[in-house]
């Protein structure tokens, strides 16, 4: 099976001010020690991995007092020359939204403001011509209609049911334009049925791999960058012909984040309008 890698353009934010000062998801424990220097080294390894694969990495300046700004995937949704800005559910992250919006504007994107809670690529993933849109914990269902209007792609709503997998990108990863991997137990029965219908050849992850955020992965069509601890999922992906690259983001996982959380795609695709 021959697979072609597509060169990607990513936006990332150095975890200069990373900390776990509050708890807005089940992964976060403000009483547990956090090694910011280690988080930075792990993040740098992720960035170098992308560069070694031939991808482009752009950087947004971190802002003091915003420890979760490293999770750039939540900063917006970008397709073609359009960017949907974000509105966070939790006040602790609210000030990240204007920082990312300003970056999009300075980079020349046509920026749209959200009408409802919308946490960017954490809950919005493009697969082929469809936008998969998660809801249940963060992004409001009402935001899905606006995504369709802005980008002109059919939107498929997926209901998340496990608070540990609070964003879609913790429960499902896009491998290429036709294939995904996901944890069935993270979705409602109806959403599982939709996923089976849309992706009959999907890779099903185990709970053990999902619990180390193995599905918070980044694929380019050939390579999949995923947490090093997700060994079972990596083996399944290699069996399907993908090349896997494990990275250790264990320090960032203390805030509920992995490779995809740290990575916003600046898409080469086009908004359809």
Catalytic residues: 167, 261
Question: Using CA atoms, how far apart are residues 115 and 144, in angstroms rounded to an integer?
Answer: 10
- C-beta of residue 59 within 8 angstroms of C-beta of residue 11: yes
- Looking only at the bridges linking them, the beta strands covering 82-84 and 110-112 are parallel
Which of 152, 150, 171, 149 lies closest to 160 in space, CA to CA? 171
């Amino acid at each position: 099976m021959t697979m072609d890698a597509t060169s990607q353009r990513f936006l990332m934010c150095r975890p200069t001010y990373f900390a776990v000062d509050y708890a807005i998801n089940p992964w976060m424990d403000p009483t547990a020690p956090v090694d910011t220097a280690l988080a930075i080294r792990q993040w740098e390894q992720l960035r170098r991995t992308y560069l070694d694969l031939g991808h482009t990495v752009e950087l947004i300046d971190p802002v003091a007092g915003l420890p979760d700004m490293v999770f750039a995937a939540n900063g917006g949704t970008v397709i073609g020359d359009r960017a949907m800005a974000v509105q966070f559910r939790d006040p602790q992250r609210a000030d990240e939204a204007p920082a990312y919006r300003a970056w999009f504007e300075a980079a020349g994107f046509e920026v749209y403001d959200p009408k409802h809670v919308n946490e960017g690529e954490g809950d919005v993933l493009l697969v082929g011509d469809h936008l998969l849109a998660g809801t249940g914990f963060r992004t409001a269902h009402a935001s899905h209609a606006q995504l369709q209007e802005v980008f002109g792609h059919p939107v498929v709503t997926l209901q998340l049911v496990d608070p540990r997998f609070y964003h879609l990108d913790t429960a499902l990863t896009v491998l290429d334009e036709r294939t995904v991997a996901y944890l069935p137990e993270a979705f409602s029965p109806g959403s599982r049925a939709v996923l089976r219908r849309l992706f009959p050849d999907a890779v099903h992850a185990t709970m053990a791999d999902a619990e180390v955020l193995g599905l918070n992965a980044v694929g380019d069509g050939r390579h999949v960058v995923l947490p090093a601890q997700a060994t079972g999922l990596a083996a399944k992906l290699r069996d399907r012909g993908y090349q896997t690259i494990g990275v250790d983001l264990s320090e960032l996982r203390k805030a509920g984040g992995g490779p995809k959380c740290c990575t916003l795609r600046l898409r080469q695709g086009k908004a359809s309008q």
